[in-house]
Structure 1
């Protein structure tokens, strides 16, 4: 690949979840995703969630490290690129990201969901935003610009990427910081801009919510957490006993922790044995949905959950190519964005952080895409949910069923960025 054939996609996030390993996914129904004939037929949440499990499967590398992504952030940033995709790139993006081939359907579905996310609430903060940063001498295709502004709320601003790269990076980074409540800093490095950089697309999502019923701080105590390799560490473990929505199988337990307002929840999936890899290798979106359907609120549950706060960083271009998104990285298939040149993608980097405490969760995510010129019982039964070994969790918008963040906790006290 030459320098002219490049888009840089950098994804940053901050939230209260982690990432999964080799999670399998059942194939989404193409009749309700890529072949959907109407907005009513297309299920954006199902498409987003199917992509989430596919990507997690590709990200599994057998390591025992924390991992975190925001499927919704990636899904949305790539949708803005998809709006300008043509030919085989258009087809591949639809197949890999479960977009409808009819772009007008995705536009309406995306706008409906953006409006849902940005709906004001007194109970929590949840906002998403999109922006496009265009090189001064470039012009967006009129229809593309109109659709991005109308359906993705994407504002357009011009920058001098070539002449003033550091200043351009500062402007983009300040926007990201503002949208994520200063949780994501220095997303873009001015050194990534060169004479071929024509466009940067940014997406940000921010969430700050309190638990519907907070954990009492005086009940938090230092307890043992068993790592995947058998080592033991001491960590702050939150404790509560109350009625939770709970389910179990011979291999797994699932627990719902609702946030105040009941629009969003965290779901924790805990293997009964300390073998997170076995769970990941045999857990898919169908299993996840089935576990949720079988949950009930009949029993009181003793819950021990570690406080955790960490950051992760992943390079996503190789996983996306492995999933079938080849032409977007090698051909000139993004031909419907700027009038002067066709664009393609070179790199996708995803960085995330998470903070879960007694009061609740704060999360933020940002995605930047740089495009360059290519030219029930009688007696109460108390259940026990002791998350003292690695587990998977999801933050989900219950209004739509869309997974906003998903991840895995391998080490609850890990608190520095790692890049691979």
Structure 2
């Protein structure tokens, strides 16, 4: 017997300039804490399987709550107990998710895109309850469509990423200070048996010059620098290990730090940063084994799954939860320089200065962060910038 299907997809939305509104509500910070809490676990689960990696804790967290919104009985209880929240916190978290999606929606026409968008595809003979449809469209901005195929089970999928374009062309004279390196060395970590060595390859490097928040984190053993996007709501945090083979050590140490607190601890100073030009997508990351290991089992069982808050169809169950995420690093130079240079006086620009120089010329970690709350929209690592995942 075939089972009803319910397909959820998160696609790109836009995230633009600063918005005129009050400070983020407490519910937005609650969502941040919940979502960011998956970052370390997902990093550790996915790290060994991928040379280059990008994923979205926020997309994953959104899927969990959209799943919970439709769950009832023991299925809902198991999800709540696994992730340690209750019915009272559901309303608060719902408001928090609405806050982020409101911002993504308000800025969707901007040319720089960053964020997530929800889509639900349901088999034609499955009727979603009006209350559930309202939640999906009003809170999670879900586009609900129908499919006529014979898939079985409930599939959740998220697409999250960032797309940027060269902007502010009138500021191009700042490139007098820049030198785009079309062939600079990047040092790969290579392993052979019990020994580790490094291999040099040549890749395009993008320079960033300006006054940025940067510093060194002793706990992680790496340099950290925040770079700016055209979209003022998000920024890019780079964690650059001391050694080419240090990225795995940093991932192991991530539980010791809070990324938002680390970002706040950085201090502004003039810095020159170079990083490789990369563009890649991790398609169809499968979080199903991760959920089952966490203890989510009833939702996957056609005999025990209860999604009666979503539909009166008794045979609705969760088949899989997957994600595709996208990241490109060819975007942030102009805005970064334009933001940084006005802070330097004319005399400083004329004379030779002592500038801190950071080079992501070996494997590093990156985080795309929603600046107002510290929400990690994307996280990932770059080990080989000439390779696609």
Please give the TM-score of this superposition, normalised by the length of structure 2.
Answer: 0.75
Contact 2:111 2:164 in 1 (8 A): yes
Counterpart Cα distance in 2 of 1:148 and 1:116:
16
Please give the TM-score of this superposition, normalised by the length of structure 1.
Answer: 0.70
1:225 aligns with 2:186: yes
- 2:42 paired residue number: 55
Counterpart Cα distance in 1 of 2:256 and 2:85:
18
Q: Say if 1:320 and 1:10 are closer, same or farther in 2 by CA, change over 3 A.
A: farther
Cα deviation for residue 297 of structure 1 reads 0.9
Contact 1:390 1:411 in 2 (8 A): yes
Number of corresponding residues: 342
- 1:327 paired residue number: 298
Aligned alpha-carbon RMSD (Å): 3.5
1:77 aligns with 2:71: no
Q: Say if 1:110 and 1:12 are closer, same or farther in 2 by CA, change over 3 A.
A: closer
Aligned match for 1:397, one of 370, 374, 378:
370
- 1:253 paired residue number: 223
Contact 2:9 2:159 in 1 (8 A): no
Question: Greater relative contact order: 1 or 2 (C-alpha under 8 angstroms, separation 6 or more)?
Answer: 1
- 2:138 paired residue number: 150
Q: Say if 1:278 and 1:258 are closer, same or farther in 2 by CA, change over 3 A.
A: same
Aligned match for 1:354, one of 322, 327, 336:
327
Q: If each structure's helix is expressed as a fraction of its own residues, which one has the higher value?
A: 2
Contact 1:130 1:202 in 2 (8 A): no
* Other structure's SS at 1:53 match: helix
- 1:407 paired residue number: 380
Gaps of 5+ in 1: 16-37, 163-192, 362-378
1:310 aligns with 2:280: yes
Counterpart Cα distance in 1 of 2:33 and 2:367:
14
Superposed CA offset, 1:323-363 (max 9, x none): 332332234133321112242222233333332215569xx
Q: Say if 1:72 and 1:110 are closer, same or farther in 2 by CA, change over 3 A.
A: same
- 1:45 paired residue number: 32
- 1:236 paired residue number: 204
Aligned match for 2:72, one of 86, 108, 118:
86
Cα deviation for residue 317 of structure 1 reads 0.8
Contact 2:223 2:240 in 1 (8 A): yes
Superposed CA offset, 1:210-229 (max 9, x none): 58998958522311111121
Contact 1:247 1:254 in 2 (8 A): yes
Q: Say if 1:398 and 1:407 are closer, same or farther in 2 by CA, change over 3 A.
A: same
Counterpart Cα distance in 1 of 2:34 and 2:368:
16
- 1:208 paired residue number: 163
* Other structure's SS at 2:120 match: strand
- 1:29 paired residue number: none
Aligned match for 2:252, one of 271, 281, 284:
281
Contact 1:14 1:353 in 2 (8 A): no
Q: Say if 1:242 and 1:156 are closer, same or farther in 2 by CA, change over 3 A.
A: closer
Q: Say if 1:151 and 1:285 are closer, same or farther in 2 by CA, change over 3 A.
A: farther
Q: Say if 1:14 and 1:281 are closer, same or farther in 2 by CA, change over 3 A.
A: farther
Q: Which moved more, 1:220-229 or 1:118-127?
A: 118-127
Counterpart Cα distance in 1 of 2:58 and 2:3:
29
Cα deviation for residue 285 of structure 1 reads 6.9
Superposed CA offset, 1:196-220 (max 9, x none): 45x6666555643358998958522
Gaps of 5+ in 2: 15-24, 191-197, 335-351
Contact 1:392 1:408 in 2 (8 A): yes
* Other structure's SS at 1:244 match: strand
